[in-house]
A and B are shown apart, each in its own frame.
Chain A
Amino acid sequence: MIDLKNLTIEKAHESFKNGEFTVAELVNAYLEVIKEKNGEINAYLEIYDDVLEQAKRAEEMFKNGTATLMTGIPIAIKDNILFEGHIASASSKILKNYTATYDATVVKKLKNTGAVIIGRTNMDEFAMGVSTENSAYGVTKNPYDTKRVPGGSSGGSCACVAMNGALVALGSDTAGSCRQPASFCGVVGLKPTYGSVSRHGLIAMGSSLDVIGAIGKNISDVQIVFDFIKGQDEMDSTSISSEFYKKKIVTKPVIGIPRDFIKEGMDDRILVNFEETIEKLKSAGYLIKDIKLPYVKYSVPAYYIITPAEISANLARFDGIRYGLSEKADKLFDVYTKSRGKGFGREVRRRILLGTYVLSHGYHDAYYNKANAVRRLIIDDYNKAFEQVDLILTPTTTGPAFKIGEKVNDLVKMYLEDIFTSPANMAGFPAISIPSGFVEEDGEKLPLGIHFTAPFLCEDILFTIGKDFEKLI
């Protein structure tokens, strides 16, 4: 029996090399877990039918000496990342039968190194949501308590790592979609610097915010995956090189805490856990400073203007003509409206309308332009803070995983799930959620997370403090 719970990429790599187990044996161990648990958890929407062929190719690479750290590593991908010849549905009915015609750059990289792409994971439709309750293919359940949500939108990717259904996973993050579910599922979720990972082949939601991120059980695994997928790509003109920003060099990071921002709507147990975190970091010799981010409270309101605006534009391509669901009608106009009306789920329809509204004549200045101006002020807040400190620390969420159905009727409450995570997307900074302990509720242990934000391209600082913090808890 392979100890999947304590397996890391490095351990798996060593085991492949010294013959402790083969890639196929490891893949089969994961397939067994998936067979046993996925029926209830619903982390995966599909297990690819060629996983054992992929495993064979990885084994060849070990034999002929071309293997890297990622060769043979079982990885899950979010259902909005294209893998040629396989369905990519973004958990939407409109793409139910859509077969990817090319590989996303991240998938190409994984394939080239012989990583084993196990399957595609459930998500909120087109990544719009914080609970996977917006998936057209049923909610994913939290492996720690199946009455609760795993978070979202990369809820399937986080739940799949938490249930030991893959060693690592890819997600996408537009306002917290890798980090909030990582917090709820007790795993590590990274949102890299905007542009540091190619989005060629990622189904777009909010193009000025979207980034592909990595999810794993520990910092080291997430770092390995990130190092592997990052890099400028000529197929994505918004991707950047590692020299794009002048990088801050830091040896022992100073940590800033925006106390004014961590008050409203907080679960008391999160605050207790957060203070304990601060004490642990102090005892490890980290300097902690209070900072102010006066405009950051406008991040979620501005986000829910900018993102719907970008959604209404990005989702205009789904028209029932070239691919995806197509409803029959007598007139072309009705083909559009019926295909989109039937193919998109409720939250997607609502956000497209909201985006159409904030961009329409007469409201553009009051909402869209204003939100963009506020976005600038948030970026300025962070840049000023990063003159004094090297990292900004908050909890990842205001509470532990909530119950399925608990927030579906309160949109604003749902939107506030992203309060601590969305600023990093609005400003483009890298950020990470790291497990910070548990609370007990209804006899179940529920994971909590803390959240660090770093200056542009300083993922290395996130990994350094993350590894230190892992030793402290």
Chain B
Amino acid sequence: MQLEEIKKLADLARIDMSEEEMKEIAKDFDSILAYVGQVQEVSSRTVLEEESKKSEDYFLHNVMREDIVTNKKGEYTEKILANAPDTQDGFLKVKQIL
């Protein structure tokens, strides 16, 4: 794996890393990807055939609920803000975005 690619991934994942660590991760990726790449031995044909045999999936189905507020107004505000790094007048304070 190229260092440039790791840099791009770190950027996408919003993680600041030293160049040294990125070099090590590039090496780690080579061995991890070689290992997990085993899944590609399983031919797509087998998978598709097996999958089409399956009845409507027990594995995934949607669970819906009414879109309503279940807690009292302000019930958690104080506790949540107590964990925030920076607040003002009951709001989270962040750096200017625009």
The residues of A with any CB-CB pair to B shorter than 8 Å are 97-99, 101-102, 234, 237-238, 245, 295, 298, 301-302, 304-305, 312, 319-324, 326, 329-338, 340-342, 344, 346, 349-350, 352-354, 356-358, 360, 366-367, 370-371, 373-374, 376-377, 379-380, 411-412, 415
B90 at the interface (CB under 8 A from A): no
Asked whether, in the complex, the Cβ of B42 is within 8 Å of the Cβ of A377, the reply is: yes
Asked whether, in the complex, the Cβ of B47 is within 8 Å of the Cβ of A374, the reply is: yes
Most chain-B Cβ atoms within 10 A of its Cβ — which of A99, A101, A295? A101
The smallest C-beta distance from A207 to any residue of chain B, in angstroms, reads 12
Pick 24 A–B contacts, CB within 8 A, sort by A. A98-B83, A99-B83, A101-B79, A101-B83, A102-B79, A238-B63, A298-B39, A301-B35, A323-B80, A324-B83, A326-B85, A326-B86, A332-B96, A349-B25, A350-B25, A353-B6, A370-B40, A374-B39, A374-B42, A374-B47, A379-B59, A412-B31, A412-B32, A412-B35
Q: Number of B residues contacting the other chain (C-beta, 8 Å)?
A: 47
Which B77-94 residues have C-beta < 8 A from chain A?
A: 79-80, 82-86, 92, 94
Contact of A320 among B36, B85, B97 (CB under 8 A): B85
Residues from chain B with a CB closer than 8 A to the CB of A305 are 36, 39
Give A340 to B41 CA distance when docked, in angstroms: 35
Dominant SS among interface residues on chain B: helix
Asked whether, in the complex, the Cβ of A377 is within 8 Å of the Cβ of B50, the reply is: yes
**Smallest CB gap from B60: residue in A:** A208
Give A335 to B82 CA distance when docked, in angstroms: 19
The smallest C-beta distance from B64 to any residue of chain A, in angstroms, reads 8
The smallest C-beta distance from A411 to any residue of chain B, in angstroms, reads 6
Given A353-B13, A374-B47, A332-B94 contact (CB < 8 Å): yes
Dominant SS among interface residues on chain A: helix
- List 8 other contacts, CB 8 Å, given A97-B83, A344-B15, A349-B17: A99-B79, A238-B63, A321-B85, A340-B16, A356-B13, A358-B36, A373-B51, A377-B47
List the 10 closest pairs (A to B, CB-CB), nearest first: A341-B16, A326-B85, A323-B83, A373-B47, A337-B16, A332-B95, A237-B63, A101-B79, A336-B14, A301-B38
Asked whether, in the complex, the Cβ of B50 is within 8 Å of the Cβ of A376, the reply is: yes
Give A350 to B29 CA distance when docked, in angstroms: 9
Given A101-B80, A341-B17, A379-B59, A356-B12 contact (CB < 8 Å): yes
B28 at the interface (CB under 8 A from A): yes
Asked whether, in the complex, the Cβ of A321 is within 8 Å of the Cβ of B94, the reply is: yes
Asked whether, in the complex, the Cβ of B38 is within 8 Å of the Cβ of A298, the reply is: yes
Give A1 to B69 CA distance when docked, in angstroms: 52
Give A13 to B86 CA distance when docked, in angstroms: 47
Asked whether, in the complex, the Cβ of B15 is within 8 Å of the Cβ of A353, the reply is: yes
Asked whether, in the complex, the Cβ of A411 is within 8 Å of the Cβ of B42, the reply is: no
Asked whether, in the complex, the Cβ of B9 is within 8 Å of the Cβ of A356, the reply is: yes
Asked whether, in the complex, the Cβ of A349 is within 8 Å of the Cβ of B29, the reply is: no
Given A370-B39, A377-B42, A332-B9 contact (CB < 8 Å): no
**Smallest CB gap from A371: residue in B:** B39
Give A97 to B85 CA distance when docked, in angstroms: 11
Give A367 to B36 CA distance when docked, in angstroms: 8
Give A101 to B71 CA distance when docked, in angstroms: 13
Give A238 to B59 CA distance when docked, in angstroms: 11
Given A298-B38, A326-B86, A371-B39, A380-B47 contact (CB < 8 Å): no
Contact bitstring B41-60, A, C-beta under 8 A = 1, else 0? 11010111011001000110
Residues from chain B with a CB closer than 8 A to the CB of A302 are 36, 39
The smallest C-beta distance from A49 to any residue of chain B, in angstroms, reads 18
B74 at the interface (CB under 8 A from A): no
Residues from chain B with a CB closer than 8 A to the CB of A298 are 38-39, 41-42
The smallest C-beta distance from B74 to any residue of chain A, in angstroms, reads 13
Asked whether, in the complex, the Cβ of A353 is within 8 Å of the Cβ of B94, the reply is: no
Asked whether, in the complex, the Cβ of A331 is within 8 Å of the Cβ of B95, the reply is: yes
Contact of A304 among B36, B41, B48, B65 (CB under 8 A): B36
Residues from chain B with a CB closer than 8 A to the CB of A344 are 15
The smallest C-beta distance from A384 to any residue of chain B, in angstroms, reads 11
Residues from chain B with a CB closer than 8 A to the CB of A367 are 36-37, 39
Give A262 to B82 CA distance when docked, in angstroms: 51
Residues from chain B with a CB closer than 8 A to the CB of A371 are 36, 39
Give A208 to B58 CA distance when docked, in angstroms: 13
The smallest C-beta distance from A66 to any residue of chain B, in angstroms, reads 27
The smallest C-beta distance from B40 to any residue of chain A, in angstroms, reads 6
Give A412 to B35 CA distance when docked, in angstroms: 7
Residues from chain B with a CB closer than 8 A to the CB of A380 are 50, 54
Contact bitstring B1-28, A, C-beta under 8 A = 1, else 0? 0000010011011111100010001001
Residues from chain A with a CB closer than 8 A to the CB of B12 are 356, 360
Residues from chain B with a CB closer than 8 A to the CB of A340 are 13-16
Asked whether, in the complex, the Cβ of A411 is within 8 Å of the Cβ of B28, the reply is: yes
Give A301 to B42 CA distance when docked, in angstroms: 12
Contact of A370 among B42, B65, B80, B97 (CB under 8 A): B42
